[in-house]
Structure 1
Amino acid sequence: MTGNEIMLSDEERRIVEAIRQREGLDSIDQALEWLGKTAVRNGAKRITGRGRALYAVGGKSKPCA
């Protein structure tokens, strides 16, 4: 994954740190990634009414004809 720099205010950093501790993550970066994935997952659930995988799902390796 490419790195992006995110500027956080003191209040935002405090909130992300609380989330990091609650979820048992090792770094602020992991907490921000977790927040992003959670937002995408919840958005997809609202749109489709179901959960969606956020990782590559293996399937048949048969090419489309």
Structure 2
Amino acid sequence: MVADIRWEEPFCAEGNNCFRIGTDAEGNAYIAVAGQEDAPLTDSREALRALILEIKAGKVDHLL
């Protein structure tokens, strides 16, 4: 795990797992299931932002 990831508060959709997004000092973005921040997925900020927006819109809840 990268020690300097700044995690946001968990986002929890009704009836689904909670996830957190974070960034590091170099601008990399991370996403992890809340409580499992030691094994985040990473991609560009734009890719993760697009994924988060789709999740929040209820389009991909089944992925969580």
> What's the TM-score once normalised by structure 2's chain length?
0.31
Greater fraction strand: 2
Greater Rg over alpha carbons, structure: 1
Which structure's relative contact order is higher, taking Cα pairs within 8 Å and 6+ residues apart? Answer: 2
